[in-house]
Amino acid sequence: MDTAVSAPPLTDHRRRLLDAMSHAVARKGYAETTIADLAAEARVSRRTFYEHFDSKAECLIALYEVASEQALAVLRSAIDPQRDWHQQVEQAMAAYLSTLACNPMLLRTLFIAILGLGPQGLAARRHANRRLAEFILDVVNGPATPPARSAPLPMPFAMGIVGAINELILQAIEEDEVATLPQLTSTAAQIARAMIDGATS
């Protein structure tokens, strides 16, 4: 069972601190960013920082969660539910990869630095991946989505799609080719379609 709780509401100070984390890591990387940097960037005191976050790592995880929700919102707004799900997959992949390519440094931080935060970071990543997999299931198994399937796509297959796409993104990050992510749309969509079409109940 997924026990993750909803993120706290974004108060003005909390939003400014998350923006500060985003800007700071884009400029100098997570490892070199200090709490003093974040407080200064957000124009708040260190005491205010600790009123919202226990640590720099907790602030990064909060940023990761917000960015993941924004990416999911992009996916949801990109598709046309009346179209064949094959076309919906292509639309979603194009929107998702284009969004990720917009900020290479932040993308590197969110995909790589989060893995160095231990169990809490891994839990945040797992929750985000599951949300993406649930989105895939909504699209493919939706009652109004043609063509009709003889059996629903199982969750492990949806998680497999998310994992495969994440590997493509990580490879682009490692090879410093984040700007080319939109060019992977066709490949990512083919992977998704192959796994969905090949799924058995």
- Per DSSP, the residues of 120-144 read HHHHHHHHHHHHHHHHHHHHHH-TT
Cα 14 to Cα 189: distance, rounded to the nearest angstrom: 36
pLDDT tops 50 at residue 3: no
How many Cβ atoms from other residues are within 10 Å of residue 21's Cβ?
A: 26
pLDDT tops 80 at residue 10: no
pLDDT tops 60 at residue 4: no
Label each residue of 3-30 as H, E or C. Answer: CCCCCCCCCHHHHHHHHHHHHHHHHHCC
Q: Give the pLDDT of residue 30.
A: 85
Give, as one character, the DSSP assignment of residue 102: T
Q: Give the pLDDT of residue 8.
A: 54
Q: Quote the Cα angle for 188-193-198, to 5°.
A: 130
Residue pLDDT, tens place only, 159-174: 999 999 999 999 999 9
Token look-up 């920082």 returns: 49
How many Cβ atoms from other residues are within 10 Å of residue 122's Cβ?
A: 13
Residue 104 C-alpha from the chain's centroid: 14
Cα 190 to Cα 194: distance, rounded to the nearest angstrom: 6
pTM for the full predicted model: 0.82
| Predicted confidence band of residue 143 (pLDDT cuts 50, 70, 90) | low
**Which structure tokens are listed for 46?**
């260190």
Q: Give the pLDDT of residue 147.
A: 63
Over residues 1-5, mean pLDDT: 37
User: Do the beta carbons of residue 113 and residue 25 sit within 8 Å?
Assistant: yes
Cis status, amide bond into 154, omega within 30 of 0:
no
Can you tell me whether residue 165 is helix, strand or coil?
A: helix
Residue pLDDT, tens place only, 32-59: 999 999 999 999 999 999 999 999 999 9
Classify the C-alpha dihedral 20-23-25-28 as positive or negative.
negative
**Which structure tokens are listed for 153?**
């796509």
pLDDT tops 80 at residue 199: no
CATH 1.10.357.10: does it fit domain 56-198? yes
pLDDT tops 80 at residue 186: yes
Give how far Cα 118 sits from Cα of 124, 156, 173, Å: 10, 24, 21
